[in-house]
């Protein structure tokens, strides 16, 4: 069964705006990761946040983690058309050796 | 070299065919994975190999048979597939499987079963 649910399922914004995606998961975790996938391509790792961290930044990306609510958010600031892709959260499903992906958010950034 | 290479990129096969998907990494990673992804869905874990041994099989039908000949190579042997097995098959690797750190993905093999 899926570990993570993401919302929104789809998001359309203009270049320069910020994009926020949310992820909720079901079991305890050691870490949570975010990946990006351009249409029909492989996934690219964006950022990993450990269960004892609350916030992490990488360039225009900001990730938060709230383990009490079992949720995470990914914020992309000053979005660009090149950010158009699907974004997935992924967790280690209760400290197992599996990385399980959430349902994903399809982001469209219009120039 | 931070690449995971998958071949072929596209594969069309009949339900009676036998074919294989191949995956290679030269990053010294000790864990390798197969995921299956249908259109507009997240990747679904199929198999995990750790130190060349199968550590996780997510109840995948036996018509999919994984093989890890050495630490750099991962194969997925396909036999008697069904049309519903058509999907993008993604290979990934990571340094270690415990605490599952960052996964490095290949570009995938798009499989069509007629």
Q: Among candidates B112, B35, B20, which has minimal Cα distance to B69? A: B20
| Tokens standing for residue A100 | 């399980």
What average pLDDT does range B83-89 have in this prediction?
A: 97
Summarised one tens digit per residue, pLDDT across range A68-101 is 999 999 999 999 999 999 999 999 877 778 899 9
| Chain B residues touching chain A at CB-CB below 8 Å | 4, 31, 33, 40-45, 48, 50, 55-56, 58, 88, 90, 92, 97-108, 110
The chain-wide mean pLDDT, for chain A, equals 93
Helix (H/G/I), strand (E/B), else coil: A82: helix
Q: Among candidates B79, B39, B73, which has minimal Cα distance to B60? A: B79
pLDDT, residue A2, reads 53
Q: By the 8 A CB rule, do A23 and A6 touch?
A: yes
The chain-wide mean pLDDT, for chain B, equals 94
What average pLDDT does range A55-78 have in this prediction?
A: 97
Q: Cα B23 to chain center, whole Å? A: 7
Those of residues 11-40 in A touching chain B at CB distance below 8 A are 30-31, 33, 35, 40
- Tell me which chain A residues have a C-beta less than 8 angstroms from the C-beta of B50: 97
- Tell me which chain B residues have a C-beta less than 8 angstroms from the C-beta of A49: none
User: Chain B: nearest CA to A93, how far in angstroms?
Assistant: 10
- Nearest-CA residue of chain B relative to A51? B99
SS3 per-residue string spanning chain B: CCCEEEECCEEEECCCCEEEEEEEECCCCCEEEEEEECCCCCCEEEEEEECCEEEEECCCCCCEEEEEEECCEEEEEEECCCHHHCEEEEEEEECCCCCCCCCEECCCEEEEEC
Contact residues for B100 (Cβ-Cβ < 8 A; gap 6+): A30, A31, A92, A97, A98, A99, B94
Summarised one tens digit per residue, pLDDT across range B8-50 is 999 999 988 999 999 999 999 999 999 999 999 999 999 999 9
pLDDT, residue A3, reads 66
Helix (H/G/I), strand (E/B), else coil: A81: helix
- Report whether pLDDT(B56) > 80: yes
Pick B64 or A94 by higher pLDDT: B64
- Cis peptide leading into residue B8 (ω within 30°): yes
| Tokens standing for residue B81 | 């597939």
- Report whether pLDDT(A4) > 80: no
Contact residues for A52 (Cβ-Cβ < 8 A; gap 6+): none
Q: What percent of chain A has pLDDT over 90?
A: 81
pLDDT, residue A40, reads 83
Q: By the 8 A CB rule, do B40 and A6 touch?
A: no
Helix (H/G/I), strand (E/B), else coil: A4: strand
Measured CA angle at B25 (ends B40, B51), to 5 deg: 100
- Range list of β-strands (E), A1-111: 4-7, 10-14, 19-25, 31-37, 43-50, 55-58, 61-66, 71-76, 85-91, 100-101, 105-110
């Amino acid at each position: 069964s899926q570990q993570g649910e993401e919302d929104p399922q789809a998001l359309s914004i203009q270049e320069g705006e910020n994009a926020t995606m949310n992820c909720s998961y079901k079991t305890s975790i050691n870490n949570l990761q975010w990946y990006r996938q351009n249409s029909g391509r492989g996934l690219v790792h964006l950022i990993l946040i450990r269960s004892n961290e609350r916030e992490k930044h990488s360039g225009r990306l900001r990730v938060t983690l709230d383990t009490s609510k079992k949720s995470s958010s990914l914020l992309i600031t000053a979005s660009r058309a090149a950010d158009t892709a699907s974004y997935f959260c992924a967790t280690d499903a209760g400290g197992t050796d599996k990385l399980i992906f959430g349902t994903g958010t399809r982001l469209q950034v219009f120039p | 070299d931070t690449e995971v290479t998958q071949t072929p990129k596209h594969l069309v096969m009949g339900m009676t065919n036998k074919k294989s998907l191949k995956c290679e990494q030269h990053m010294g990673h000790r864990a390798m994975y197969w995921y299956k992804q249908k259109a507009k869905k997240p990747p679904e874990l199929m198999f995990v190999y750790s130190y060349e041994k199968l550590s996780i099989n997510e109840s995948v039908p036996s018509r999919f048979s994984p093989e890890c000949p050495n630490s750099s190579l991962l194969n997925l042997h396909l036999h008697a597939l069904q049309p519903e097995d058509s999907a993008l098959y993604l290979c990934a690797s990571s340094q270690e499987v415990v605490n599952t750190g960052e996964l490095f993905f290949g570009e995938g093999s798009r499989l069509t079963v007629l």
